[in-house]
C-alpha cells in the first residue's frame, strides 16, 4: 500500500526561526499532496494543496509567505514555517493523493511543532 513518511515527528524551535517539514511518498509518485493543521478541540484544517511542479494552492486565511510549500518532485513536498511564532505551534500532517483509492495509510505520521 501507499507509504508516506513525514519528518520530523516533533520539533521545538525558537521564535523567529524557520522550520522545514518533509513529506515523502515512498512507493509511488504523488502529483498532489495536502497539508493540514490540527488545532486543539478542532478537526483537521486544510492549509494548502501541493502540486508537483507548480505553485501550491492555499486555503483562505493561510499566509503563503509564512507557510512555504515546495513540491519539486513526485515524491517530496516540503512545508517551511518561516519566522515561527508561538501561535504557529500546532500539529501539521501531510496526506498524499495515491490514485483513485488508497490501499493503505496515505497520511504522514505528522509533525508536532512547538515554538518557544
Partner 1 sequence: AQSVSQHNHHVILSEAASLELGCNYSYGGTVNLFWYVQYPGQHLQLLLKYFSGDPLVKGIKGFEAEFIKSKFSFNLRKPSVQWSDTAEYFCAVTPGGSYIPTFGRGTSLIVHP
The verdict on 107 binding partner 1 (CB under 8 A) reads yes
**Is position 64 an interface residue for partner 1 (rule: CB under 8 A)?**
no
CA distances to 14, 27, 43, 74, 101 from 37, rounded to whole Å, are: 20, 24, 9, 22, 23
Cβ-contact 97, 71 below 8 angstroms? no
Q: Which 3-42 positions form the footprint of partner 1 (CB under 8 A)?
A: 32, 34, 36, 38-42
Among 46, 62, 74, 76, binds partner 1 (CB under 8 A): 46
| CB of 14 or CB of 42, closer to partner 1 | 42
Task: Tell which one of 53, 86, 101, 116 touches partner 1 (CB under 8 A).
Answer: 101
Q: How far is the CB of 40 from partner 1 (least distance, A)?
A: 4
Question: In this structure, are residues 92 and 21 in contact, taking their beta carbons and an 8 Å threshold?
Answer: yes
Amino acid at each position: 500500500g501507499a507509504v508516506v513518511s513525514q519528518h520530523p515527528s516533533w520539533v521545538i524551535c525558537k521564535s523567529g526561526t524557520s522550520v522545514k517539514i518533509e513529506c515523502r511518498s515512498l512507493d509511488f509518485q504523488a502529483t498532489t499532496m495536502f497539508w493540514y493543521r490540527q488545532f486543539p478541540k478542532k478537526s483537521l484544517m486544510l492549509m494548502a494543496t501541493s502540486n508537483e511542479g507548480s505553485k501550491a494552492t492555499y486555503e483562505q486565511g493561510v499566509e503563503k509567505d509564512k507557510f512555504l510549500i515546495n513540491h519539486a518532485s513526485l515524491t517530496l513536498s516540503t512545508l517551511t514555517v518561516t519566522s515561527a511564532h508561538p501561535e504557529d505551534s500546532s500539529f501539521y500532517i501531510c496526506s498524499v493523493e495515491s490514485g483513485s483509492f488508497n490501499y493503505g495509510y496515505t497520511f504522514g505520521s505528522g509533525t508536532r511543532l512547538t515554538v518557544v
